[in-house]
Chains A and B, each alone.
Chain A
Amino acid sequence: MIEINNLHKSYKMGANSLHVLKGLNFSIKEGELVAIMGSSGSGKSTLLNILGMLDEADSGEYTLDGVPIKNLNETKAAKYRNKFLGFIFQSFNLINYKSAMENVALPLYYQKVPRKQREEKAIKYLSQVGLKEWAHHLPNELSGGQKQRVAIARAMAAEPKVLLADEPTGALDSKTSYEVMDLIQKINDDGNTILVVTHEEDIAHMCKRIVHLKDGVIVEDKKVDQVRASQYV
């Protein structure tokens, strides 16, 4: 599903150049649930941004679902993001004046799905994350866990090839974190490919594979026995 080959990225900081990613190689197959781990500054967020086409690599190859991702302009990136990717952010990034349902329906608006179908689909995905009753509430009427579940529903709504989660549990307490991870695991059980960036060991062990990043290189890439989050819920 995802192939990256010799990926380099550096940031210019005044006169100095900071080499963040130093030639990464790895691939993710369909249906995988991968955790990318590393301390802050290890380059994990940069990697995710490149995978999410929010940022572009200096050199190297990136293929997503057989499509080479290169020479991106904003319009092309927007099209690919809409078609291939669903995002889950640490800070949820819901639009605060839109109800839960409208937030979930928004990616479908950019896919030019008619309003009625958008709403039906949004309700469907909201019930999947257990928030059907909250469909008409604004984000500030929801708890943190609920907000993240709305964000997950939104990421799912566009039916993307890959879900990218950037510290999805970073702003949540552990109980809520497990609830969210339980949801992510269930979505993965349905066959969706999911990439989770985290620095928390327990969250990483709820994935099926852990890629360890340190100073811009992959130091470890191992399959793990998945810890089901449902046992903590």
Chain B
Amino acid sequence: MLDIERWQEIFDTIRKNKLRTFLTGLSVASGIFILVILLGFGEGFKNGIENEFAQDAATSVWVWPGTTTKEFKGLNPGRVIELRNSDYEYSSQLLNDQIELSSPRIFVRNVSVNYGNEALVYGVQGVSYQFQRIENATMSDGRFLNYQDEQNTAKVAVIGNKIAKDVFHEVDTPIGEFIDISGIPFKIVGLFGETEDREEERIFIPITTAQRVFNGGDKVNNLAYTLPMANDFDEAVANSVKFKSTLLRNLQLAHTIAPDDTNAVFVWSALEEAKRFYSLTDNIKLFFWFVGVCTIIAGVVGVSNIMLIVVRERTKEIGIRKALGAKPWSIVGMILHESVFITAISGFAGLILSMGLLEILGPHIEVDYVLNPSVNFQVAVSTVFVLIFAGAVAGFFPAWRAANIHTIDALRDE
């Protein structure tokens, strides 16, 4: 490798065979380029999916009731299940150590909402003070409902930014304004923001207020939980599956539901859903890898092909060199040295070009489900080495054969 004479000889050859060198280099560089871009997008896709799921609390678990479809312990199918405060309290107590945050939710129906003379058509939901973090809502002004509100059945409301924009555009801030819900004035204490407009079209009031003031009794419509973060994704999924099944079993017992009745109570966990997407992204990444590896193989085949042609084309030259005293190994060495040098240079050129492109364009890509495509540098570098190695192996055999052709036959080659 450190033989300067050899390097000079190779540079001479490269300089005088520019087209051949260029074509070899191009096939290597484009192989690496395509692979890196593909891998980058695989990664970007994964990032994008992760980002989509980060919008609601990633570990949230939701419960809503349905209708029984199976006869159980003498009860007919078709029974409408209703969740109650006791379900919430009992499950919260039972699973206390597995829960991070929890909140019941009640939809306040059949009420009119007014601001001054204006009738508002937004949904009113009674929730606990922990609900903000379950929903991952951000407060843009004021505060969310708090524990005191709940204890005092305070007549306060928190509204979404969308409502503030649509209804309260004439005042500086909706905070301190009053809205009437079925004639009862509620003071607005906070504004929240969500990632989607639809989710900002909601009015939150304390759950206790909702139940007492609007004759909700002790009924609730949903139970919402978040689980504490686990060490890794798989553990988190396992935790949420365990939590989900305990909770479901509990509710089935409390409401006398057949264990195999899937329509009576629904429990949904974001993580399990996410897991499906993760395995999807894993598959997509696998697919990109597959395509990438095929590209590399095509690159290797291209390089070997070019090596074959190069050796064929140089048979006479090899004969001349041998007549002048070149040993077979020096011929093999010269051809391999040249091909390794070209694949290395062009491989790294393709690598730098594609990584640069990802680095520059990556952060600016704004497409759903694709975020910040990037590639693991080590992986990319090792593919370059694989290609160089494969090129060398592929070049070795024709070079070896050419070096061992009888000099006289090589000289006759035209």
B330 on interface, CB distance cutoff 8 Å: yes
B12, A102: Cβ atoms under 8 Å?
yes
- Residue of A74, A77, A95 with highest tally of chain B CB at under 10 A: A74
The verdict on A78 contacting B12 (CB below 8 Å), with A49-B408, A112-B5 known, is no
Report the bound CA distance from A54 to B319 in whole Å: 10
- Contact call B323/A87, Cβ cutoff below 8 A: yes
A54 B408 Cβ-Cβ under 8 A: yes
Q: Is the CB of A78 within 8 A of B322?
A: yes
Contacting residues, chain A, for B325 (C-beta < 8 A): 78-79, 81-83, 107, 110-111, 158
Q: Separation in Å of the B320 CB from the closest CB of chain A?
A: 5
Chain B residue at minimal CB-CB distance from A151: B320
> How far is B320's CA from A54's CA once the two chains are assembled, in angstroms?
11
Number of contact residues on A: which range applies?
Answer: 20 to 34
Shortest B314–chain A CB gap in Å is: 9
Question: Which of B325, B327, B328, B408 has the most CB atoms of chain A within a 10 A radius of its CB?
Answer: B325
Interface hub of B12, B319, B322 (most chain A Cβ within 10 A)? B322
- A95-B408 contact, Cβ under 8 Å, with A78-B326, A115-B5, A115-B8: no
- A74–B327 touching, CB < 8 Å: yes
Cβ < 8 Å to B, chain A residues 38-91 = 49, 52, 54-55, 74-75, 77-79, 81-83, 87, 89
Please tell me if the beta carbons of B404 and A82 are within 8 angstroms of each other in the complex.
no
B9 lies within 8 A of A89 (CB):
no
- Give the interface centre of B316, B324, B328, B403 by most chain A CB atoms within 10 Å: B324
A114 CA to B8 CA, complexed, in Å: 11
Contacts of A52 in B (CB 8 A): 323
Contact check, A89 vs B13: say whether CB atoms are below 8 A apart: no
Is the C-beta of B321 less than 8 angstroms from some C-beta in chain A? yes
Q: How far in angstroms is the closest Cβ of chain B from A74?
A: 5
Q: Shortest Cβ distance from A188 into chain B, in angstroms?
A: 21
B316 & A54 in contact (Cβ 8 Å cutoff): no
**Closest beta carbon of chain A to B142's beta carbon, Å:** 80
Chain B, residues 318-341, CB within 8 Å of chain A (1/0): the string is 011111111111100000000000
Find residues 307-364 in chain B having any chain A CB closer than 8 Å to their own CB.
316-317, 319-330
A208 to chain B, nearest CB (A): 26
Asked if A82 meets B5 with Cβ closer than 8 Å, knowing A75-B329, A97-B13, A102-B12, the reply is no
Chain A nearest CB from B405 CB (Å) reads 10
A109 within 8 A of B: yes
Q: Which residues of A contact B317 (CB under 8 A)?
A: 95
Kindly state whether residue A140 has any CB partner on chain B within 8 Å: no
Q: Is the CB of A110 within 8 A of B326?
A: yes
**A106 at the binding interface (Cβ < 8 Å):** yes
Hey, what's the 0/1 contact readout for B62-103 against A, CB within 8 Å counting as 1?
000000000000000000000000000000000000000000
Tell me, yes or no, whether B411 is within 8 Å of chain A by CB: yes
Q: Which A residue sits closest to B3, measured CB to CB?
A: A112
Chain A residues whose CB sits within 8 angstroms of the CB of B16 once the complex forms: 97-98
Tell me whether A55 and B316 are in contact (CB under 8 A): no
Task: Say if the beta carbon of A154 comes within 8 Å of chain B.
Answer: yes
Question: In the complex, which residues 99-122 of chain A have their Cβ closer than 8 Å to any Cβ of chain B?
Answer: 102, 106-107, 109-112, 114-115
Q: How far is the CA of A115 from the CA of B13 in the complex (A)?
A: 15
Please tell me which one of the listed residues B8, B324, B328 contacts residue A75 in the complex, with CB atoms under 8 A apart.
B328
Determine the distance from Cα of A54 to Cα of B326 in the docked complex, in whole angstroms.
13
The answer to whether A93 has its CB under 8 Å from any CB of chain B is: yes
Is B327 within 8 A of A75, CB to CB? yes
Which of B9, B323, B404 interacts with A81 by CB under 8 Å? B323
Cα distance A75–B329 when bound, in Å?
8
Chain A hits for B322, CB < 8 A: 74, 78, 81
**CB of A105, distance to nearest CB on chain B (Å):** 10
Residues of chain B with a CB closer than 8 A to A112's CB: 5
A109 to B8, alpha carbons, bound, how many Å?
11
Q: Is A106 a contact of B324 with CB atoms below 8 Å?
A: yes
Q: CB-CB < 8 A to A97: which residues of B?
A: 13, 16-17
Q: Nearest Cβ distance between residue B348 and chain A, in whole angstroms?
A: 26
- Contact between A93 and B320, CB atoms less than 8 A apart: yes
User: In whole angstroms, what is the CA distance A114 to B4 when docked?
Assistant: 10
Known contacts A55-B406, A111-B325; decide if A89 and B411 are in contact (CB<8 Å).
yes
CB–CB A114/B406 < 8 A: no
Residues of B within 8 A of A87 (CB): 323-324
Given A97-B13, A102-B12, A115-B5, A54 contacting B407 (CB threshold 8 A): yes
Which chain B residues lie closer than 8 Å to A74 at the CB level?
A: 322, 327-328, 403-404, 407
Instruction: Please name the residue on chain A nearest to B411 by beta carbon.
Output: A93
B17 proximity list for chain A (CB < 8 A): 97
B residues with a Cβ closer than 8 A to A are 5, 8-9, 12-13, 16-17, 316-317, 319-330, 403-404, 406-408, 411
Cβ contacts A to B, 30 pairs, < 8 Å: A52-B323, A54-B323, A54-B406, A54-B407, A54-B408, A55-B408, A74-B322, A74-B328, A74-B403, A74-B407, A75-B327, A75-B328, A78-B322, A78-B326, A78-B328, A81-B322, A81-B323, A81-B324, A82-B324, A93-B319, A93-B411, A95-B317, A95-B321, A97-B16, A97-B17, A98-B16, A109-B5, A110-B326, A111-B325, A154-B324
Not counting A79-B325, A98-B12, a sample of 19 additional A-B residue pairs whose C-beta atoms are within 8 angstroms of each other reads A54-B407, A55-B408, A74-B322, A75-B329, A77-B407, A78-B322, A81-B325, A93-B319, A93-B320, A95-B317, A95-B320, A98-B16, A106-B324, A107-B325, A110-B324, A110-B326, A110-B327, A111-B325, A115-B8
